[in-house]
Structure 1
Amino acid sequence: MRTVYIGLGSNLGEPVCQLENAIAALKVLPLTTLQKRSSFYKSAPVGPQDQPDFVNAVIELETQLSPLALLDQLQAIEQAHRRVRARHWGPRTLDLDMLWCSDATMHTRRLILPHPEMHRRAFVLEPLSELAPDLLIGEWSVKHLAMTLNDQPIDKLLE
């Protein structure tokens, strides 16, 4: 079994419902168990600002799936939520990003692990720090990295 952290995001339709539905779909993946989920957070979009704010979360999975097999499952869930890739960093009904995998580092055309931008994004680090504050990204803990990004406003949603 490997531990994997997945970032979830949505800013179209009803983002909270989109994330709840995605979490329900992730709970029934084959050879996979959902271990934990973070709170939901609201933040401004990265990139073009002419779109709604995002709602984000992170989940922890235990899985026997390979990273690429898990990626296929994540992309199938995105497609089931009518994900359209119209522009880079554009609005989306659902975004599922594999952030970190306990026994894998990869750099392929389809997947880079750990996620190359996670250490720069409060909307990833803040929810991830709820689940794994001491996880090391490079030489720094998630909790430490999250504290360095106080220039990126992020609001925890009440559940």
Structure 2
Amino acid sequence: MAIEAALGLGGNLGDPVAAFAIALQRLEAEPTIRLKALSSVWRTAPWGKLDQPEFRNLAVLIETSLSAEDLLALCLAIEREGGRERRERWGPRTLDIDILTYGGLVIDRPGLQVPHPRIAERAFVLAPLAEIAPELVIGGQAVASLREVSDRDGVKKDAGESERLRRIMFGEPLSE
């Protein structure tokens, strides 16, 4: 049975857009995953730890037959393949892939919390997610409603990077 899940991708080291493209190509290559929708790339100010470069963020809707645990394991493997090193909380990173939602399920286990914790407070998650799934309900509220009341400072759509991602994904394959 296929479940719809929302993933959030972020990064601020190296070339995050290229890292997103490789991660999305890797997800798309999985027979258990189908990409359904892809947001624009958003530029966002750092959150939590402020003395680092700005981030690029995007959201993607997928359909998957993987369990939430197996999807998390795949996301963590893709992060590692992309050079992710977990050194400090909210610190700089080459690639971060978060499971934002998994069907309508609420999961609270060590290492896996869905919907993603503090999602309603994070404009850098809500902006791209509202672009592709405005009616998605999290905690009883539609993403579009949550986005309306979120702090919009430091979160801006980046048309140039969005176009570059689409060109890489659908026109000019990346060599690894």
| TM surpasses 0.5 | yes
User: What letter matches 2:151 in structure 1?
Assistant: N
Partner residue, 2:15: 14
Partner residue, 1:25: 26
Bigger drift between 135-144 and 1-10 goes to 135-144
User: What letter matches 2:80 in structure 1?
Assistant: Q
Q: Is 2:5 aligned against 1:4? A: yes
Partner residue, 1:54: 55
Q: Report runs of 4+ in structure 1 exceeding 3 Å deviation.
A: none
SS in structure 2 of the partner of residue 155 of structure 1: strand
- 1:39-88 CA-to-partner distances (Å, cap 9, x unmatched) read 00000111111111000000001000000001000000000001011100
Partner residue, 1:96: 97
SS in structure 2 of the partner of residue 21 of structure 1: helix
How far apart, CA to CA, are the structure 2 residues paired with 1:151 and 1:58? 17
Residues 1-159 of structure 1 aligned to structure 2 (within 5 Å): 1-158=2-159, 159=163
SS in structure 2 of the partner of residue 60 of structure 1: strand
User: What letter matches 1:66 in structure 2?
Assistant: S
Larger helix proportion of the pair: 2
- The percent identity for this pair of structures is 40
Q: Aligned-pair distance for 1:151?
A: 4.4
- 1:21-47 CA-to-partner distances (Å, cap 9, x unmatched) read 111111112311111110000001111
User: What letter matches 2:16 in structure 1?
Assistant: P
Q: Aligned-pair distance for 1:152?
A: 3.2
Q: Normalising by the residue count of structure 2, what TM-score does the alignment of the two structures yield?
A: 0.87
How far apart, CA to CA, are the structure 2 residues paired with 1:48 and 1:116? 17
Bigger drift between 101-110 and 4-13 goes to 101-110
Gaps of 5+ in 2: 164-176
Gaps of 5+ in 1: none
User: What letter matches 1:100 in structure 2?
Assistant: T
SS in structure 2 of the partner of residue 33 of structure 1: strand
Q: Normalising by the residue count of structure 1, what TM-score does the alignment of the two structures yield?
A: 0.96
**Equivalenced residues, count:** 159
Change beyond 3 A, Cα 1:29–1:60 = same
How far apart, CA to CA, are the structure 2 residues paired with 1:22 and 1:98? 14
How far apart, CA to CA, are the structure 1 residues paired with 2:132 and 2:71? 20
SS in structure 2 of the partner of residue 97 of structure 1: strand
Conserved? CA contact 2:11–2:94, under 8 Å: yes
